[in-house]
Amino acid sequence: MKITYKGDYALKTILDLAGHFGSAPVAINDLSKRLDIPTKFLEQILLDLKRAGFVESRRGKIGGYSLAKEPAKITLGEVVRFIDGPIGPIACVDKQYSGCHDVESCVFRNIWSQVGNSISKIIDQVTFEDLLKRTNKANKTFNYQI
């Protein structure tokens, strides 16, 4: 697994939208400024996320994006997989990989499988509600220290 900029941006964007869940939609421009993501790049990312059903949009004057489901119903893993592809550390765990012939007797494949599973166990379990709570807590702590 490798988290690209696109993936990183997508996650940060969804977390931001999670923070506005239930309120008015948020404009790309606001997200772009707040999260420091190139506007035109973010446009594309949001379109992808919309097509996948993670977010929904509203056009026109008071338009913008909002989360399509409750933050508790979106996991980190879903988003990562959608944007950055399968979790496995090598293609042979997920699909064809021309370096692998003896798939049956290969001792490495088993390891890569274990690695994939242990990653999944982490990211498929944490939702954006969890992350939201942690953010709030982090900010509170931060304010207290000042």
Partner DNA sequence: TGTATACTCTACTAACATAGTAGAGATTAT
Partner DNA sequence: ATAATCTCTACTATGTTAGTAGAGTATACA
Site residues, ligand FES (CB under 6 A): 8, 90, 92, 97, 100, 103, 106, 108-109
Using CB under 8 A as the binding rule, whether residue 40 contacts a second copy is answered as no
Positions 89 through 128 that interact with DNA (CB under 7 A): 99
Coil, strand or helix: which one is 22? coil
Give the residue from 74, 102, 76 showing the smallest Cα distance to 87.
76
| 114, 35 contact by CB (below 8 A) | no
Quick check: 34 binds DNA (CB under 7 A)?
no
Contact partner, 34, from ligand FES, a second copy, DNA, none, Cβ < 5-8 Å per class:
none
Q: Which is nearer to DNA, 116 or 127 (CB)?
A: 116
Point out which span in 21-29, 41-49, 61-69, 98-106 binds a second copy (CB under 8 A): 98-106
Is the backbone of residue 36 left (phi > 0), alpha (psi -120 to 50) or beta?
Answer: left
Total residues at interface with a second copy (CB under 8 A): 37
In Å, the largest CA–CA distance within the chain is 61
Collapsing DSSP to helix, strand or coil, 75 comes out as strand
